[in-house]
Structure 1
Amino acid sequence: MTDNPIKTRTEGHILEVTLDRPKANAIDLATSRIMGEVFTTFRDDPDLRVAIVTGAGQKFFCPGWDLKAAAEGDAVDGDYGKGGFGGLQELRGLNKPVIAAVNGICCGGGLELALSADIILAADHATFALPEIRSGTVADAASIKLPKRIPYHIAMEMLFTGRWLEAEEAARWGMVNRLHPADRLMDEAWTMARLLASGPPLVYAAIKEIVREAEDMKFQDALNRITKSQFATVEALYRSEDQKEGARAFAEKRDPAWQGR
């Protein structure tokens, strides 16, 4: 469909997801539901190992919630679909790497979408903000995530004031992994994606489950869960053909051929 707000393409084990809703790539309920279906398919397809999410054009990554659609009847507490807003924030069991390629303005729910990724690459002209305070509402997911990702005081300033961060400042505080010239951003995102796609998918799954589940656990409790085989992904890894392949490849001084099983 030419009017589909979500464009996808695949190359090998990589899925690229582009939010394409002129003029600003804002997300309404229908778009969020489509994104939920796309990322659910990505999660459940064993042949797909890495996803890239970006916005169309070079001005907007995503400004978040579509206020025009809200004024026309989209309820803020409506049906966002699988995975919640943008299809990523609440998608259970997503144990594959996701890269956000932030190609421009990234604010509100768009910043929350980027924070749902594992790696954030940004164009050097990108800007970041949480302007919800100015409309008398709360950036709920960002209020949970951002103070854990960057220095607490910087996160609180963003939440309290809605001020904008230029790309260089966002990188300085660790909000993004690295910056690239706009015309290089997608090439660099694909380079990163190919690197990850060549790696061991079962190990990525174990890493993501451990990081997610251990976030609110004491260190020893989390470690005990690993040693007692209480993480499903870790148990699957230790019983896998890939585990044997890794050992064989090391002994034979060659690159391993990961199968994800």
Structure 2
Amino acid sequence: MTLRVERDEATGVALVTLDRERRHNAIDLDTAADLAALWRELRHDEDVRAVVVTGAGTAAFCTGIDRSVEVAQPPSPYSVDDPLIAVGPKANDLWKPVVAAVNGMACGGAFYLLGEAEFIVSSTTATYFDPHTSYGMVSAYEAVYMAQRMPFGEVARMSLMGTAERLSARRAYEIGLVSELAEPGELLEAALRSARTLAGFPTRAVQGTVRALWSAKRAALQQALDQAPALIALGNLPPERQADLFGARRSGEAPRLR
């Protein structure tokens, strides 16, 4: 299995861990399917009233799509088969609160998960960045999700600057992307503490509030996501050229941390 799921019946909290530490918790097709299935399963588990999602190890929360994944794309520029489209809880109709505990790097496709969490608790050593443009790829879904959580100038800079810069945990907290900072050894307990509080409140009231919060921005979010397939199809370089840029970047200069 590519996920570890630990349910605490006493508190009503499930801890979901992306368990591909050697791959920096990148999401392959099996992980994507496992995540979608898990969120839908948790809809029916009355013993789980709140969720914490994190990544194994300390190097990365998630580094997006595993670059070994190959997905054949339709020939039309108006259609894109995105393997990460359903990895988030809201995409699977789960309205129980989800707290993200971010350890290490969170980049690219990680924003599908972070974009559908209620709030983020971050390690002080975590970093956030979006590598798409550096590799000749359009940041569409990722940029749209983050535009719901960050000031426009900040998400524009992160989306456009690619691998040249990384957003520090402190800066992410200052702009409101992150709601709480914790030292690395205290991260998980900080996230679980919030989840336990949420799980202890009346379930229908909590889920109704989650749904109300998302309804405030869901129409605009869906309209923006609908534009993503065409933008990706029109703007992405061919996969082999992306691979060339990825290989060259690995030996390049270190990113600036801000």
Kindly tell me the number of residue pairs found equivalent between the two proteins: 209
Q: Which residue of 2 aligns with 1:9?
A: 6
1-side partners of 2:176 and 2:216: how far apart? 21
Q: Which residue of 2 aligns with 1:99?
A: 99
2-side partners of 1:75 and 1:172: how far apart? 40
2-side partners of 1:156 and 1:175: how far apart? 14
Look at both structures and tell me which one has the larger radius of gyration over its CA atoms: 1
Q: What amino acid does structure 1 have at the position aligned with 2:135? A: S
CA contact (8 A) 2:2 2:30 kept: no
Q: Which residue of 1 aligns with 2:108?
A: 108
CA contact (8 A) 2:21 2:55 kept: no
CA contact (8 A) 1:33 1:87 kept: no
CA contact (8 A) 1:99 1:189 kept: yes
Q: CA deviation at 1:17?
A: 0.5
Which blocks of at least 5 consecutive residues in structure 2 are unaligned?
Answer: 74-79, 221-258
Q: Which residue of 1 aligns with 2:131?
A: 131
State the SS of the aligned residue for 2:15.
strand
State the SS of the aligned residue for 1:205.
helix
Q: What amino acid does structure 1 have at the position aligned with 2:180? A: R
Q: Comparing both chains, which one has the higher relative contact order based on Cα–Cα distances under 8 Å and sequence gaps of 6 or more?
A: 2
Q: Which residue of 1 aligns with 2:204?
A: 202
CA contact (8 A) 1:25 1:63 kept: yes
Q: Percent identity?
A: 31
Q: Which residue of 2 aligns with 1:231?
A: none
RMSD: 2.0
Question: In the superposition, relative to structure 1, how do residues 125 and 205 fare at CA in structure 2: closer, same or farther (>3 Å)?
Answer: same
State the SS of the aligned residue for 1:197.
helix
Question: In the superposition, relative to structure 1, how do residues 74 and 46 fare at CA in structure 2: closer, same or farther (>3 Å)?
Answer: same
CA contact (8 A) 1:111 1:128 kept: no
The TM-score, its normalising length taken from structure 1, stands at: 0.75
Matches within 5 A, 1:212-251: 212-215=214-217
Q: Which residue of 2 aligns with 1:119?
A: 119
Which blocks of at least 5 consecutive residues in structure 1 are unaligned?
Answer: 219-261
Is 2:66 aligned against 1:66?
A: yes
State the SS of the aligned residue for 2:17.
strand
The runs of 4+ residues in structure 1 deviating greater than 3 Å are: 73-81
Is 2:170 aligned against 1:165?
A: no
Q: Which residue of 2 aligns with 1:86?
A: 87
CA contact (8 A) 2:111 2:145 kept: no
Per-residue Cα deviation, 1:216-250 (whole angstroms, up to 9, x for no partner): 679xxxxxxxxxxxxxxxxxxxxxxxxxxxxxxxx
Per-residue Cα deviation, 1:133-159 (whole angstroms, up to 9, x for no partner): 111112322222222312111111111
Is 2:33 aligned against 1:36?
A: no
Q: Which residue of 2 aligns with 1:20?
A: 19
